[in-house]
Each structure stands twice: as C-alpha cells, then as structure tokens.
Amino acid sequence: MKKSRVLIVTGSQSDMPTAQGAMKILDDLKISYDMKIASAHRNPKTVMQLAEGAEKKYDVIIAMAGGAAHLPGVIAASTPLPVIGVPVETKSLSGFDSLYSIVQMPTGIPVATVAIGGSKNAALLAAQILSVKYPNIRKQIIQLKNKMEKGYKL
C-alpha cells in the first residue's frame, strides 16, 4: 500500500514562512510530507520532473507561489494527483495577483485554491483528501474538529 504522503512545493525560499503553517498542521496530524523549492519560471524542468514522478511517492500536492504563481497550474497539468494551490502574499498587490493566477486555471486543469497565505487550510484539505483512503487520518481530523469546537485554535 502506498504510504500517505504530501508533496509541498514552493516557488522560492521566500515562500517558506507561508509553508510553515502547512508543515505544522501535517506534523500535528502525523502525515508525512516532503518539502521542495522549485520555480515554474526559473526551474521549469525540475518542476516538470517533480510533477511527473509525484504519483509514485505522493497522494496530494500542495503548491504555493506568489506573483504570476504559475507553479500550481504547471504541476496540475503534469500529474493526475490532486493539487492544492496556496497564493502567497506579495508586496505589490497583497497576494491578489497570486490568487487570480492560481484560481483562474483553464478547464481541464483543476487546482483547489485556498485563501491568500492559507497554507494551514491547504494542509487540512490535503488531510481530508487523504482521509477518503486512510481511516486513521479521518479519525485525526474528526478529533481536531472536535477540539476546534471547544475553542482550540490552529
């Protein structure tokens, strides 16, 4: 059985503060993940290799990028795995450029998109996708939601 895993890809090192939220949630839920930095613009071959080989190792991909933010779409075009896009906040347009770039994928290239900087929700969505296949993850999500009802903050 394939190990439940998530691939997190950011467009640059400067996106790492945004990625920290996703990594914390996945760590809390004990879901293994790998973290990679690769830009759709500066490292297109690396991105394509990651995406094309992802199905062998992972179940879900979280891709985050700022500005033109092509990374989630390029990955989604190159793999059958679900891709969750996280728009990274930018100085020039407060992340709305990133949001519009990710959410406006053409028909046939779906990317689930969360809020600007919403990497925690991306990790939770990845966990919920995994929970369809892995009942132990579903139990963890139910426990987390019960804690949240009692005031627990993520």
Ranges of each domain in the chain: 5-149
Q: Report the pLDDT averaged over residues 74-103.
A: 96
**What integer pLDDT is reported at residue 145 of this predicted model?**
95
Q: Which class is 5-149 in CATH?
A: alpha beta
DSSP 75-136: HHHT-SS-EEEEEEP-TTTTTHHHHHHHHTPPTT---EE--TT-HHHHHHHHHHHHHTT-HH
**What integer pLDDT is reported at residue 1 of this predicted model?**
43
Q: Which pTM does this prediction carry?
A: 0.95
Distance separating alpha carbons of residues 69 and 102, to the nearest angstrom: 6
Q: Is the pLDDT of residue 3 over 80?
A: no
**What integer pLDDT is reported at residue 2 of this predicted model?**
53
Q: CA 138, 105, 108: angle at the middle one, nearest 5?
A: 75
pLDDT tens-digit series, residues 38-85: 999 999 999 999 999 999 999 999 999 999 899 999 999 999 999 999
**What integer pLDDT is reported at residue 4 of this predicted model?**
63
Percent of the chain with pLDDT over 90: 95
